[in-house]
Amino acid sequence: MMLFNAEYWFDNDLWHNQWPMEMFSIGAFFDAGSAWFSQAPATLIAGQAGSGGIQTKMDIRSSAGVGVKIGDLRAYFARQLDSTNKDWQVSFRINRTF
């Protein structure tokens, strides 16, 4: 697995701490990565010589988008960048980051 993530959040200072906007934050992000699996995991376990069927091609995918944060609730709006016919995806997160 390979993962790259970059994001920047404009916290409530953007709104000069004016109520009710002080609860909101806006962010932008970029993600890129790839995941791959062994073609023959039994070959690796048995310790046989050779590549063991491990895929060496890294099909890296990327996406970018914006997010809105209200307290512990976040909403993300993202679009895949390496394809022209992908729709926007919406996801939600209801806990704090670690």
Percent of the chain, pLDDT > 70? Answer: 63
Query: What is the spatial distance between Cα 15 and Cα 11, in angstroms, rounded to a whole number?
Result: 8
98 in a domain, yes or no? Answer: no
User: How confident is the model at residue 2, as a pLDDT?
Assistant: 87
83 in a domain, yes or no? Answer: yes
Percent of the chain, pLDDT > 90? Answer: 30
Can you say whether the dihedral through the CA atoms of 38, 40, 41, 44 is positive or negative? negative
51 in a domain, yes or no? Answer: yes
27 in a domain, yes or no? Answer: yes
User: How confident is the model at residue 44, as a pLDDT?
Assistant: 46
25 in a domain, yes or no? Answer: yes
How many domains is the chain built from?
A: 1
Q: How far apart are the first and last CA of the chain?
A: 21
**Mean pLDDT on 63-89:** 88
Quick one: DSSP state of residue 22?
G
40 in a domain, yes or no? Answer: yes
Query: What is the spatial distance between Cα 58 and Cα 97, in angstroms, rounded to a whole number?
Result: 28
Q: How confident is the model at residue 56 (pLDDT cuts 50, 70, 90)?
A: low
User: How confident is the model at residue 35, as a pLDDT?
Assistant: 81
Query: What is the spatial distance between Cα 59 and Cα 10, in angstroms, rounded to a whole number?
Result: 32
Query: What is the spatial distance between Cα 42 and Cα 36, in angstroms, rounded to a whole number?
Result: 16
Q: How confident is the model at residue 85 (pLDDT cuts 50, 70, 90)?
A: confident
53 in a domain, yes or no? Answer: yes
57 in a domain, yes or no? Answer: yes
User: Where in the sequence is the domain holding 67, given as residue range(s)?
Assistant: 2-93
**Mean pLDDT on 38-42:** 53
